[in-house]
Structure 1
Amino acid sequence: MTNIADLEIFSRVVSAGSLSGAGRELGLSPAVVSKRLRKLEDRLGTRLLQRTTRQVALTEAGQGFYERVVAIIAGIEEAEAFVTRRSTQPRGTLKISAPTSFARMHIAPHLGAFMRENPDLSINLVLSDDFVDIVGDGFDLAIRIAELSDSSLVARRLAPVERVLVAAPSYLSERGLPQSIEDLERHICLPQHNNEPWRLEGPHGSIVYRAEGPLQTNSSEVLREAVIAGLGLALRSTWDVGAEIASGRLVRVMPEFAASKSVAIHAVYPSRRFLPAKVRLFIDYLANLYGPVPYWETVPASAVSAPTVGDAVPPEPKPNGRAGPPAGTRP
């Protein structure tokens, strides 16, 4: 039977990305780590890692083996936590991946309270707007804002996502208030940072509208600042601009139209029978913090409907070409 310690060494090598990195974490020399890995591969009769002096890479067999080893180690940790009553006092490091803007606004401000409740737990929060390889990159969990497809990962829905059309009062004072989808052709509509079209649900069903404004960016935060500055209309999530709507810095326009609600905020983690206490506690903490009606949705009713900003009919485009190119609709 394979030595459990050899499995932990193999797992640490993969997560650390090198023999020396794993050795430092385990208090072993690189030579000892290399010897134990060779012993494990000889016992299994297959190569698990391609090794160089600087880095390691999983083979195809190694990838499948690693996924199962992670589950085994997690189960052992959970069993030990149960026996020693550590389930109420999680220890170690919790490695989390989260989207940049959301983490800055709705995770980072609440970490202090969580860590004070769990003083023996350290947090490694990695910000990325890409979908990381949770298993391959050694994450305990990831926060994802998406419509999730089927996968081998487990997902828990933390909160709904409401996406609405907004603009700054200064923009509306100059351009007027749009009343219909057709009116958008006479407005500056800022494309989403990923260039996806606006998928809206309205009184008469679904609408797909391709915004073609003058600003192109791959940064959601740049787009957020642009709409606040009065550059045009944008489709934004209320978790991102709820405070600005409440304060009046942004106004919700055409409130009868909103994005499809198939997107939600999820906690995603490797499929395991035994979920480590540190992961379970953090997911429960976020779920209780956000709730079925997240705090960023509790804004005054007056902030959700557009105020009067002059003539309700949008003006014709000015000859200086500030309006973006005409954009069409399709069902």
Structure 2
Amino acid sequence: MLDSIKDFQVFKSIYETLSLTESSEVFNTSPATMSKKLAAIEREVGEQLFYRSTRSISPTQYGHDLYSQTLNFLEKYHELFDEEQLSSIPKGNLRITISASLYRGMFVEIINEFINKYPQITLDLNLSDQVVDIVDKGFDIALRVSDLPDSNLMCVRLADSTRVVCASKEYIKLHGKPVKPSDLKDHNCLILNNERVWKFKKDKKKVPVVVKGNIKTNYGDLVVDYLKRDQGIAYVAKWHITSELKNRSVVPLLTSYEPETNPSIFIVFPYVKKVPARTRIFIDFLKEKFKI
């Protein structure tokens, strides 16, 4: 049986035009090449498909039968792969939800590159620190920091979201530097997502510590704002404070300890029978950027 979509399309074109010359123009090739392709297709199916003379070609009975099968196959193929996927230029609207913090910290430049590379794809970006039901709200993709995404959704892991304990230089001048996790009890800690137990490990031993502070929030950017304003010690993802670490306005603390666990950054998308080309291309683009 024919083993490629192009074989079916070539056969269909020859059957409908009854001309190797016209079919060669459709596929931007020569009549001689088209004749060789037809001979290869006949070898594949093990039957003669057309009678040939110097001036004309006409289908054999097997050719008539194969044409009916070809129409059915191509119809089903087009049902599975929409017109956009068959096009060389991906297009359409892609709805993405991502936290504002993660977007600013890791994805501004990456998404800008994607927009420049695929201008026919329109991005609808929803910046929200709330976990959105992407199926109910009609999103194509969510970018999330999580330990384990919803098992009812498809996911691709992009990278670790490594966390670091840190404080501003001015805060350390005023309050001193903790040298072990238990020292955090004597400091004002900026609490994110009601996480009152900060968990570390050293030499495979778990080291949890209960922290307290006068600021707690579910908004990561707010923690970073107060961190930079010398209000306390934070336990945040490195991507959240990349520029502050580079210019050394913020200093890593407890560097001989590791986070007990690190969440990961995931691409999350709904289960569907066919993933639209624009979604697949975006996922592949991110995988390339993160080298996975």
Structure 1 or 2: larger strand share?
2
1:10-159 counterparts in 2 under 5 A? Answer: 76=79, 78-82=81-85, 85-86=86-87, 88-159=88-159
Mapped partners of 1:91, 1:142: distance in 2: 19
C-alpha distance 268-253 of structure 1, shift in aligned 2 (>3 A) = same
Mapped partners of 2:92, 2:162: distance in 1: 35
Q: Which residue does 1:265 correspond to in 2?
A: 265
Q: Which residue does 2:13 correspond to in 1?
A: none
Mapped partners of 2:196, 2:159: distance in 1: 22
C-alpha distance 226-283 of structure 1, shift in aligned 2 (>3 A) = same
Percent identity of the aligned residues? 28
Q: How many residues align?
A: 215
Mapped partners of 2:150, 2:170: distance in 1: 44
Match of 1:191, SS state, is strand
Q: Which residue does 2:208 correspond to in 1?
A: 208
Does residue 223 of the first structure (1) align with residue 208 of the second (2)? no
Q: In the TM superposition, what is the alpha-carbon distance from 1:225 to its structure 2 partner?
A: 1.0
User: Which whole-Å deviations, capped at 9, do the CAs of 1:144-178 have from their partners, x for residues lacking one?
Assistant: 10111552210000111100100111111222221
Q: In 2, are the aligned partners of 1:161 and 1:261 still within 8 Å (CA)?
A: no
Letter in 1 for 2:81: E
Bigger Cα displacement from structure 2, 123-132 vs 197-206? 197-206
Q: Which residue does 1:278 correspond to in 2?
A: 278
Q: In the TM superposition, what is the alpha-carbon distance from 1:264 to its structure 2 partner?
A: 0.2
Query: Structure 1: where are the runs of 5+ without partners?
Result: 1-74, 293-331
C-alpha distance 291-226 of structure 1, shift in aligned 2 (>3 A) = farther
Mapped partners of 2:105, 2:170: distance in 1: 25
User: Which whole-Å deviations, capped at 9, do the CAs of 1:255-303 have from their partners, x for residues lacking one?
Assistant: 12232344100000011242211111112222222346xxxxxxxxxxx
Mapped partners of 2:172, 2:291: distance in 1: 33
Match of 1:126, SS state, is strand
C-alpha distance 95-200 of structure 1, shift in aligned 2 (>3 A) = same
Mapped partners of 2:219, 2:81: distance in 1: 40
Mapped partners of 2:153, 2:288: distance in 1: 22
Mapped partners of 1:288, 1:207: distance in 2: 36
Match of 1:136, SS state, is helix
Please report the RMSD computed on the Cα atoms of aligned residues, expressed in angstroms: 2.1
Q: In the TM superposition, what is the alpha-carbon distance from 1:104 to its structure 2 partner?
A: 2.5
Q: In 1, are the aligned partners of 2:185 and 2:210 still within 8 Å (CA)?
A: no
Q: In the TM superposition, what is the alpha-carbon distance from 1:196 to its structure 2 partner?
A: 4.8
Letter in 2 for 1:108: V
C-alpha distance 250-76 of structure 1, shift in aligned 2 (>3 A) = farther
Match of 1:212, SS state, is coil
Q: In the TM superposition, what is the alpha-carbon distance from 1:191 to its structure 2 partner?
A: 1.6
Mapped partners of 1:79, 1:132: distance in 2: 27
Does residue 162 of the first structure (1) align with residue 165 of the second (2)? no
Q: In 2, are the aligned partners of 1:193 and 1:223 still within 8 Å (CA)?
A: no
Q: Which residue does 2:197 correspond to in 1?
A: 197
Q: In the TM superposition, what is the alpha-carbon distance from 1:194 to its structure 2 partner?
A: 3.4
The list of structure 1 runs, each at least 4 consecutive aligned residues, that deviate by more than 6 angstroms after superposition, is none
Letter in 2 for 1:191: I
If the length of structure 2 is used for normalisation, what is the TM-score? 0.68
If the length of structure 1 is used for normalisation, what is the TM-score? 0.60
